[in-house]
A and B are shown apart, each in its own frame.
Chain A
Amino acid sequence: MPTGFLVSLRMVVGLFFVVVSAEKLVHPYQNFLYVVQSYQVFPPFLEEVIARTIPWAEFFLGLFLVLGLWLGVVLRSFIILLAGFIIIVSQALIRQLPLDDCGCFGGLIKLPLWGTGMLDIGLLIFLIVLVRREKDTAAVSLDKLLPTNEKDQ
């Protein structure tokens, strides 16, 4: 796979997460809380924590992916995050939870539950490819331009 394609893929995936998470962040967090609650997995306290923190995590991870900053950590964090999303969506599908009603995913993307699962799997595959070709993925990145600490300057 050409390096240019991997860099572009990295930026597209990153931009996707930036846009989707920004949409959640500029709207009241209660909307995303409702989405989290709909999966009926977590206790109320944890639902609240997740609703307030996950959009920020997605946003910064996405932004750093676009910029090519801390790529090693970011790519692996995304893989863990997406694996978690896939597990949660899968259990909702198995339990046949009514998650396609009422604009539950009101926002930029409206997908049935199986569609969400497929999208998450697709993104996970992309990220695994990017991790396996990490050096080429980081070809155009801030990681290459900047020193990690002062002694490298």
Chain B
Amino acid sequence: MLMLSIGDWFSKLKSDFILNFVQDDRYKLILSGLGSTLVITFFAAILGILLGIILALVRSSHDKMIDELRPGFGKGLLKVANFIANIYLTIIRGTPMVVQLLIAYFIIFASSNNGVIVAIIAFGINSGAYVAEIVRSGIMSIDNGQFEAGRSLGFNYIQTMVYIVLPQAFKNILPALANEFIVLLKETSVAGYVAIVDLTKAGDKIRGITFSPFMPLLAVALIYLILVTIFSRLVNILERRLRNNER
């Protein structure tokens, strides 16, 4: 009797699986959704890191140098840039991601049909604000003596940053950056709000067709989990390698 019910359960599971993934090639929906999720995450992360580094350099340069700089064009420019950076950070960190995405899609890029590119821009701009604060904390964590040593050898401000401060800062902030990347990956699951079929939306779509929520949603969760786990492993390896370099 018991054997029979387990057998029943398995056969139900099997038919559930076939219904949700095999029938009408529905697994392809999941795959293309996964593709969209990865594309959006990857390019948004690159955009976010670029924006974040620029913002962090503006903010930390301002904090470090503004009292030292002589009045002139450079000082004025830095002040304006810092002002803009602060407004950007305030707005992005002060409003929900979904709202930003909706505004980007329906207002700012209303004429665009390419949801994925709009999403990349919206997620990248959002991530940039968080990366900026991470990078800035990294720069601030480096002893000022490192900066002075670089300058005393004859490096200019940017060279000192690139050769001496940022490589050390990067090592310190790697765990926080990895965390931000994971957050970004999972946050792209709201892309469905603007008619993008990402991984989450794909699972939800299947659920809507088959009226069987268990399989598709759990599959989606499992895929996210696997992605995050693989990525965490890679970061761990990178971290260990960077640390080994020092001793």
> Is chain B a partner of chain A in the same complex?
no
